[in-house]
Amino acid sequence: MNKRDIPGIFRQLLKLDAHDNNIVGVGQGHKYVRGENTGQEALTILVKKKYPYSKLRNGAALPRIMNNTPTDIIEVGDIRLLGERMEYHRPAQPGMSLGHYKISAGTFGAVVKDKDTGELLILSNNHVLANITDGSDGRATIGDPIIQPGIYDGGKIEECTIAHLHRFVPLYRETASPHCKIARTFEMLLNKCIHILRPQYQVQVVRESEKVNLVDCAVAIPINSEAISAEILEFGVVTGIKEPTLGLAIKKSGRTTGITHSQVLATNVTFKVSMNTQEYGVFSDQVLAGPMSMPGDSGSLILTNDNYAVGLLFAGSEQATMFNNITHVLDKLNITL
């Protein structure tokens, strides 16, 4: 099958599907049988929803062979541009862009409640709502503006402030500035000596941190409860919480990549994550999933296919995604879903 045939086949399929409007695309792929890749070349037909043969109306079944090539049908949902996730919305929904006024943008994770007061709060990461603060570094202060959409997506403090930072769990680096007076005095004297020979250089004395992170999370209190909605974009409301287990099918709704799916690959993971170009933090009791995120998806709630929350996405790469166990997040912030 020649790739130049694809546009014509697509138009042909659209004519067959004019009544149902279910076909959204066509391409070249492999034939899958009961989830297994046979390696056989196939014409891949993308549909919004894949129906059992018994529920199709007469004449709606797609051909098993087209252009002498077997067909393979894949359900992809209603594909659309992700722009709405990065635009100003009121009420704003989980899955949309937001962030502390000093950062670029992250994801509105969920609407939660304060266990003590019952107040509605916005849940996301510390590094989304509190600028990667440890609470003593001046990177963020309780009451700081939270912007929706995030600054990177065009949000402005004057027009787009949706909430204020309310509470966060500190994030600890692998190394930290010492509080010891002797160490700080040594640093000052050393820099004075260096300045004489190399005025463009400066040294910093650091100590190894023994603190390990369990979560990357924070909450903000909305200016107006009517400015937010508890329904996660394209998923609806959260059903409850579940423990992440090996092989569990999961999904997320995020600012950058929208809806993605994966599965739990490992639990009880301890690893080192890059917080910026020069700093790292150690996290323990984390959950590893397959690739399902990109920068800007941080803060997304990780859900099962039936909308039970299992975690809070905070880190990843092109090969993997890491998330906090949701029970740790709720306990550390004293909140409920």
Q: Where are the domains of the chain?
A: 3-75, 83-172+211-227, 175-208, 240-336
Q: What is the pLDDT of residue 45?
A: 87
With H, G, I as helix, E, B as strand and everything else as coil, classify residue 35.
Answer: coil
- What is the separation of C-alpha 311 from the centre of its chain, rounded to a whole number of angstroms? 11
| Strands 36-47 and 69-75, sheet pairing | parallel
Q: What is the pLDDT of residue 83?
A: 61
Q: What is the pLDDT of residue 238?
A: 97
State the fold for domain 83-172+211-227.
Thrombin, subunit H (2.40.10)
For 220, the token pair is 């903000």
Q: What is the CATH number of domain 240-336?
A: 2.40.10.10
Separation between Cα atoms, residue 152 and residue 86, nearest integer Å: 9
Tens digits of per-residue pLDDT, 94-103? 999 999 999 9
Task: Assess contact for 16 and 37: CB atoms under 8 A.
Answer: no
Decide if 83-172+211-227 and 240-336 have a common fold.
yes
Task: Note the pTM of the prediction, 2 decimals.
Answer: 0.70
Q: What is the pLDDT of residue 53?
A: 75
Tens digits of per-residue pLDDT, 276-296? 767 788 999 999 999 999 999
Q: Which amino acid is at 254?
A: G
Q: What is the pLDDT of residue 197?
A: 52
- Per-10-residue mean pLDDT for the chain, 337 residues long? 79 79 84 86 86 77 85 77 81 97 97 97 98 95 98 96 98 67 62 56 47 94 97 96 95 96 93 78 92 94 97 92 96 97
Q: What is the pLDDT of residue 183?
A: 53
Q: What is the pLDDT of residue 212?
A: 87
- The dihedral over CA atoms of 46, 50, 54, 57, expressed in degrees to the nearest 10, equals -60
HEC readout, 261-323? EEEEEEEEEEEEEECCCCCEEEEEEEEEECCCCCCCCCCCEEEECCCEEEEEEEEECCCCEEE
Q: What are phi and psi of 284, to 5 degrees?
A: -125, 160
Q: What is the pLDDT of residue 173?
A: 87
Q: What is the pLDDT of residue 209?
A: 46
